[in-house]
Amino acid sequence: MFNDELAEVFSELADMEEIEGQKWESIAYRRVAMSIAGLGEDIRDISRRNELRKIDGVGAAIEKKIRQYIEEGRITAYDNLKKKYPVDFKQLRKIQGLGAKKIASLYVNLGITNVSDLRVAIESHKISKLPGFGEKTEMNLSKSLEMSLSAGPTRIPLGEAYPDIMELKDFLVDSGLFDRVTVAGSTRRMKETIGDVDILAIAKDKSKAAEVLVESDRVSGTVVRGESKITVNLKIGITCDLRLIEEGSFGAALQYFTGSKEHNIHLRNIAIASGMKLNEYGLFSEERQVAGRTEEEIYSGLGMEYIEPELRENTGEIEAALNHALPDIVGYEQIRGDTHTHTVDSDGSNTVEEMMLRARQNGLEYIVFTNHSKSLRVANGLDGAGFRELNRRIDDASSRLDFPALKGVELEILKDGSLDLGEAVLSEMDFVLASLHQFVTGDSDENTGRVVKAIQSGLINGIAHPTGRLIGKREPYKLDMDRIIAECSAAGVCLEINGDPFRSDLPADIVRRAINTGVKFTLGSDAHNVADLSNLRFATAIARRGWLGEEQVINTLTLENFRKALSR
């Protein structure tokens, strides 16, 4: 989205001003980058209404810069600094352990401008000799770099790409040139990361249809242009194929291009075993097409139930479909509340009221506020008195806006496994999530022991982002997840599925492992601004990919029953 581009420009400005020693400018730019990234609408619309100054952190000077970017696609101050630091900040910042200062030092001393320069420098051990780096830092950077590369240079978290993909789809629909437009591929399966985008469409007029894709402002250029397929580069850094399909085989094509590959191979073999042939044009018996118009026809032609896209991984779903024993998985519209959200009161960028209004707009029936507790100083965590004051404001806002809001906390699990707030203040909370954020370098026994102690405290409702992984950045903590699942089940403590695209935690395979243990789940967006409340969709997708039913997810409950389920 345009907002994200502009936010990135300001955050690079912040990096460069920080290097220049301009502390205040840097802070101001970082703040405005955060505000822009969290805006619920296109900043160009806000500018048209002449309301840029209403955005948090925007004064006269920054307003001018935003206007210049909207009008000319550039900001002079940025261009000037960029000449001095021709560095790919966005890419380098993704590597754990690299902040603006370190990036600057790498550039000034070694001329490193991007990830491949960094790799060469690490391999020739030049980094460890730099002042302020040392051998340990070099080793850590090497590990982080390996992680970010093994995630694949072109695989990105679904949630990063999703708004752009939906915008692109709407753009095609609005052009009026198509009878049908559907996104297929790993996006339709709601995989946690995607490598490219597949769009299938039925065109009214093929010659005009392919052209229109290039006109979208999400597209940066054409790769190849064929008769019924066009491939373009998207600004988000991956490619997109638009395929023009005939109506009579649209279902077959949708099934084929949705994948996964393993799922399709298995289906194809089943077709062959029953003397048929399955491909992107249809299901054929002899040379006659017996199915192709819809996906449902294809699956039923193969003698099985329809399989939801999120399940198509060849991990038992085909056998279940043949036995008519597929689980009834939780639906996106069945989630009634968000159980993990932050506000300006800790490290979020919107107020309690703003979050409530957006939650209602998104169709939710209630929201739980879970700001950080005091030991997480980097996130401006609150102490008992802070929470009491905040809780009064939550109650007040809830009755003023007539929208149910629950008082919660994302509570630090301390080094010895004890909890960051006392029993008295916790007993005033509706919902207590406990998290491992700090001291996480321990071994499995140590880490698991801390989590188990929190589970057994009788004071918490759930464990947030249980594995601690950050996609492309950090491996899961060393933990015995099966033991944690069992302890949660025994103590009636929930496991969270966190919808932050960089977390996607729990991963779907662990959810799947837990479904028959009796443990319950909560789905949370972990939103730090109103826009990210939509991340609840990605948490739901993981639940579906993990075969979870509605009854296993407690925020599918009505407010009344949700409250009952929270007894500690």
Q: How far is the CB of 122 from Zn ion (least distance, A)?
A: 30
**Sheet of strand 366-372: strand arrangement:** 337-338, 366-372, 405-412, 431-435, 462-463, 494-498, 521-524
> Which residue number, 133 or 477, has a Cβ lying nearer to Zn ion?
477
SS3 301: helix
b/e map of 291-311 (b: 16 or more CB within 10 Å)? bbbebebbbebbebbebbbbb
Nearer to Zn ion, 297 or 526 (CB): 526
Q: How many helices (H) and strands (E) does the chain have?
A: 24, 17
Among 64-72, 110-118, 186-194, 433-441, the segment contacting Zn ion (CB under 5 A):
433-441
3-state secondary structure 216-227: CCCEEEEEEECC
- Name the segment binding Zn ion (CB under 5 A); options: 19-27, 95-103, 422-430, 525-533: 525-533
Comparison of 162 and 369: residue with beta carbon closer to Zn ion: 369
- Closest-CA residue to 542 (of 159, 262, 195): 159
Piece of 38-46, 176-184, 253-261, 518-526 that binds Zn ion (CB under 5 A): 518-526
Q: Please provide the size of the chain in residues.
A: 568
Report the nearest approach of Zn ion to the CB of residue 346 (Å).
9
Nearer to Zn ion, 393 or 437 (CB): 437
Residues 144-183 that bind Zn ion (CB under 5 A): none
Please name which of 71, 50, 57 lies closest in space to residue 13, comparing C-alpha atoms.
57
As measured in angstroms, the least distance from the Cβ of 271 to Zn ion is 46
Which of 301/466 has CB closer to Zn ion? Answer: 466
Place of tokens 């071994």: 443
Closest to Zn ion by CB, 46 vs 454, is 454
**To the nearest whole angstrom, how small is the minimum distance from the Cβ of residue 410 to Zn ion?**
5
Least separation, in Å, of the C-beta of 465 and Zn ion? 6
Choices 216-224, 415-423, 521-529, 556-564 (CB under 5 A): range interacting with Zn ion? 521-529
CB of 371 to Zn ion, least distance (A): 8
Is-contact 284 270, C-beta < 8 A? no
98 Cβ contact list (under 8 Å, min separation 6): 92, 106, 141, 144
Closer by beta carbon to Zn ion, 258 or else 535: 535
Would you say 182 or 540 has its CB closer to Zn ion?
Answer: 540
410 near Zn ion (CB under 5 A): yes
Taking the least distance from each CB to Zn ion, the nearer of 307 and 527 is 527
Binding of Zn ion at residue 500 (CB under 5 A)?
no
Q: Would you count residue 505 as binding Zn ion (CB under 5 A)?
A: no
What minimum distance in Å lies between the beta carbon of 464 and Zn ion? 5
The reply to whether 353 sits near Zn ion by the rule CB under 5 A is no
The answer to whether residue 297 forms part of the interface with Zn ion (CB under 5 A) is no
- Give the residue among 409, 353, 357 at the shortest CA–CA distance from 386: 409
- Min dist CB 499 to Zn ion, Å, is 11
Nearest approach, Cβ of residue 542 and Zn ion (Å): 16
Region of 12-20, 345-353, 397-405, 526-534 interacting with Zn ion (CB under 5 A) = 526-534
- Rounded to 5°, the CA angle 387-555-524 comes to 60
**CB–CB of 223/241 below 8 Å?**
no
Closest approach of Zn ion to the CB of residue 500, in Å? 8
Give the Å distances, CA to CA, from 515 to 324, 421, 426, 511, 548: 19, 31, 29, 6, 7
- Write down the least CB distance from residue 341 to Zn ion, Å: 8
Nearer to Zn ion, 264 or 343 (CB): 343
Cis peptide before 11 (omega within 30 of 0): no
Which of 238, 470 has the CB closer to Zn ion?
470
Compare residues 198 and 412 and give the one whose CB is closer to Zn ion. 412
- Least distance from Zn ion to the Cβ atom of residue 348, Å: 9
320 to 299, 314, 324, 362, 444: CA distances (angstroms): 13, 11, 6, 34, 35
Nearer residue to Zn ion within complex by CB, 318 or 432: 432
Stretch that binds Zn ion, among 41-49, 466-474, 520-528, 557-565 (CB under 5 A): 520-528
* DSSP conformational letter for 189: T
- CB nearer to Zn ion: give 353 or 410: 410
Report the chain's terminal Cα–Cα distance, integer Å: 43
C-beta of 163: minimal distance to Zn ion in Å? 21
Among the residue ranges 47-55, 279-287, 319-327, 409-417, the one whose residues contact Zn ion (CB under 5 A) = 409-417
What is the closest distance, in whole angstroms, from the C-beta atom of residue 552 to Zn ion in the complex? 22
Contacts of range 64-72, beta carbons closer than 8 Å, 24 or more positions apart: 66/6, 69/6, 69/9, 70/43, 70/44
Choose, by CB under 5 A, the member of 412, 487, 526, 532 that binds Zn ion: 526
Which of 70-78, 115-123, 432-440, 450-458 is the region at the interface with Zn ion (rule: CB under 5 A)?
A: 432-440
The answer to whether the bond into 98 is cis (omega within 30° of 0) is: no
Burial class (CB in 10 A: 0-12, 13-18, 19+), 49: exposed
Q: Which of residues 39-78 bind Zn ion (CB under 5 A)?
A: none
DSSP state of 405: E
Number of residues engaging Zn ion in binding (CB under 5 A)? 3
Rounded (5°) CA angle 547-196-498:
40
**Alpha-carbon distance 162 to 195, whole Å?**
12
Distance CA 354, CA 225 (A): 45
Would you count residue 435 as binding Zn ion (CB under 5 A)?
yes
Q: CA 511 to CA 547: how far, in whole Å?
A: 8
Where do contacts with Zn ion occur on this chain (CB under 5 A)?
410, 435, 526
